[in-house]
Amino acid sequence: MAEKMIMLGNAAIARGAYEAGVKVSSAYPGTPSTEISENLVQYKEDLYCEWAPNEKVAVEAAIGASISGVRAMACMKHVGLNVASDPLYTVSYMGVNGGLVLVVADDPGLYSSQNEQDTRMIARAAGVPVLEPSDSAEAKEFMKTAFELSEKFDRPFILRTTTRLAHSQGLVELNEREQVPDKLYEKNIAKNVMMPGYAKLRHIEIEKRNNELSEAANTLSINKVEMNDTKIGVITSGIPYEYVKEALPDASVLKLGMVNPLPKELIKDFASKVEKLYIVEELEPVIEEQVKSWGIMAVGKEIFTIQGEYSANMIRKAILGEDVACNAPAQVPGRPPILCPGCPHRSVYHVLNKLKFHAAGDIGCYTLGAVAPLSVVDSCICMGSSISSLHGMEKAKGKDYIKNWVAVIGDSTFLHTGINSLMNMVYNHATGTVMILDNSTTAMTGHQDHAATGKTLQGEDTNAIDIPNLCRAIGVKNVVEVNAFDIERLEKVIKEETAKDEVSVIITKSPCVLLDKSKKPVYIAHEDKCKKCGMCMKPGCPAMTKNEDGTIRIDDTMCTGCGLCESLCKFNAIELVKAGDR
């Protein structure tokens, strides 16, 4: 009997890739997709997987592997697909040799993202087919289906997931890895060299293939009709299918496993058999607009929101005006996001705040420098944008305007796309100051390695890109490295570098506090010496609280011994004690 396991959606996707015979996977971390690669690496005897510096590179690496004739994949979060959209639109014309699947994780409800975009819209625009599983078992199986269909129809495929699927667990049956022979590589410039003459012809070909695929979608087993009471019919897919089954157990359901292209005949047939048709899909009305454009009456976003995650209760309430039988919303206390105790970013922001500086921000743990009490970060758009937006400000308002501004960016984000923006500053006579907050990891997504950490996803030692030398190599003359906790020197360096009429890069070095899990010495506050000046509280360390009389207490279960509070106390009221001495 086949072994069964409870698996996270992302682990099931990795297992599906393994079973489908994938040979190459490239990815850039991004919640909620990161664990796919972290799980895939357990199969490294049979396949190669890597972290790429960004999603465009990851997709291009996967395309290269596909051209060479093996099954290949790239994984990313929804906004990663924007970064990779340049190759996406064109590989859609090219098609594949070995099967090619991009796994893209959307984030309805914005649990960890800067927007709520819907991958299905991009896939439609690019003419790329999309499969959407509803649970872990399907996630694994759909990976295999995606590779089969990719090769059969000569199309790259997207497997779309959402946070709820990626991060919930379900029962999965394990199967053997398919032994998929490599496809022969044959030079074919009309298919693989997308210059206008060839691309024009490929566009027509792709139209044809997509039409064939939509025809085939009418009979694909992953598009399933579950006929029940015909008063209410629901077309749905992905995680909302699970909600629909709970909310409306008696309704008839058309569950779409392929959400682009849609099975038009199947939908028409289903619609004709039910009295009232609803379309339940999170985010954009992608299915709804197409169905309505075919003249089919349906109710969708008139009663459902385009924002956030759905739930069984919300669906039942919208359709029947009543709650599901057991509606017990989780009672989870709200917790504002906050930098960890001992985070080196806090110390940098403390200095910037003291100097009354503004920062053009970026995406990473350090985005939290926007909120009180640090309140330094003024903007955050997308990865890499801090440096380029600071540059734009200078070009708009002149160099004096940005004298009390810096761009702040993490090491992983700098290598992702920040480097291009820095090149632009050097090239176009900018004078701004960029601070690279180098904590030696991609902390925000859970400590993934990157090109400057010296380790690969597969755990091998490798060249670590030298960030200071990289900056010098592209022409930055002022590159200064500072320990993030040396606040005196940091203040001096920030003042010096921002006063210059040249581009400067300040690299604040200190590893993410969570990388080293050993028990460290901690600080204690001596109440008798404390003058209640409040200086040590300014950076907002969560380990520090006030006693009723206004003196300070340090929670030794939280303190990591970073020493920022000690360096702010002028009265020697804060002292380092050895681990276990309290």
Q: Of 270, 272, 273, 275, which is closest to residue 255 (Cα–Cα)?
A: 270
Specify the residue, 70 or 409, whose C-beta has the smaller distance to ligand TPP: 409
In degrees, to the nearest 5, what angle opens at C-alpha 482 toward C-alphas 477 and 483? Answer: 160
- Name the token pair of 415: 């290598």
Site for ligand TPP in 371-390 (CB under 6 A): 383
What is the nearest approach in angstroms of ligand TPP to the Cβ of residue 459?
19
Residue of 363, 376, 505, 506 that binds ligand TPP (CB under 6 A):
363
Q: Which amino acid is at 36?
A: I
Q: What are phi and psi of 300, to 5 degrees?
A: -140, -105
User: Closer CB to ligand TPP, residue 29 or residue 257?
Assistant: 29
Q: Which is nearer to ligand TPP, 237 or 389 (CB)?
A: 389
- CB half-sphere exposure, 499, CA atoms < 13 A: 6
**473 to 532, contacts with ligand TPP by CB under 6 A?**
none
Nearer to ligand TPP, 248 or 363 (CB): 363
Residue closer to ligand TPP, measured from CB, 99 or 361: 361
Contact status: 251 vs ligand TPP (CB under 6 A):
no
Cα–Cα distance, 550 to 183 (Å, whole number): 72
Where does this chain touch ligand TPP (CB under 6 A) — which range of 134-142, 169-177, 360-368, 496-504? 360-368
Strands 72-77, 24-27: parallel, antiparallel or unpaired by DSSP? parallel
Q: Does 40 bind ligand TPP (CB under 6 A)?
A: no
Instruction: Supply φ then ψ for residue 50, to 5 degrees.
Output: -150, 160
Q: Rounded to whole angstroms, what are the CA distances from 319 to 229, 251, 282? A: 15, 11, 15
Q: How far is the CB of 170 from ligand TPP (least distance, A)?
A: 25
**Rg of the chain over CA atoms, in angstroms?**
27
433 binds ligand TPP (CB under 6 A): no
Residue type, 196: P
Question: What's the CA gap between 80 and 254, in Å, rounded?
Answer: 30
Do residues 279 and 255 touch, judged by C-beta distance below 8 A? no
Q: Which of 66, 92, 441, 498 is the binder for ligand TPP (CB under 6 A)?
A: 441
What tokens does 176 get? 């053997």
Q: Which one of residues 8, 20, 47, 83 is an interface residue with ligand TPP (CB under 6 A)? A: 83
Is residue 412 near ligand TPP by the rule CB under 6 A? Answer: yes
**What pairing do the DSSP bridges indicate for beta strands 377-379 and 574-577?**
unpaired
Kindly state the smallest distance separating residue 436's Cβ from ligand TPP, in Å. Answer: 9
User: Contacting ligand TPP (CB under 6 A), which of 210, 413, 433, 560?
Assistant: 413
Of the candidates 260, 180, 173, the one whose C-alpha atom is nearest the C-alpha of residue 220 is 260
Stretch that binds ligand TPP, among 198-206, 236-244, 278-286, 358-366 (CB under 6 A): 358-366
For ligand TPP, the binding residue among 285, 341, 361, 364 (CB under 6 A) is 364
233 vs 342, beta carbon nearer ligand TPP = 342
Helix (H, G, I), strand (E, B) or coil at 537: helix
Looking up tokens 């919930």 gives 168
Q: Which of 21, 80, 87, 257 binds ligand TPP (CB under 6 A)?
A: 80
Q: Are strands 405-410 and 358-360 parallel, antiparallel or unpaired?
A: parallel
DSSP-based three-state secondary structure for 434: strand
The only residue of 119, 192, 313, 445 in contact with ligand TPP, by rule CB under 6 A: 445
SS3 track for 228-244: CEEEEEEEEEHHHHHHH
Query: Rounded distance, CA 392 to CA 430, Å?
Result: 9
Helix, strand counts (H, E) of the chain: 21, 23
Q: Is 350 in the site for ligand TPP (CB under 6 A)?
A: no
Neighbour tally for 311: CB within 10 Å: 17
**Which of 11, 79, 105, 324 touches ligand TPP (CB under 6 A)?**
79
Residue nearest to ligand TPP (CB): 410
User: Closer to ligand TPP at the Cβ: 260 or 386?
Assistant: 386
Residue of 65, 444, 525, 564 that binds ligand TPP (CB under 6 A): 444
Instruction: Work out which of 129, 342, 410, 540 binds ligand TPP, going by CB under 6 A.
Output: 410
C-alpha dihedral, 529 to 533 to 534 to 535, nearest 10°: -90
- Residue for token pair 């997987």: 49
Site track for ligand TPP across 300-339, x = CB under 6 A: ----------------------------------------
Position 365 contacts ligand TPP (CB under 6 A): yes
- Under the rule (CB under 6 A), what is the footprint of ligand TPP? 28-30, 55, 77, 79-80, 83, 363-366, 383, 410-413, 439, 441-445
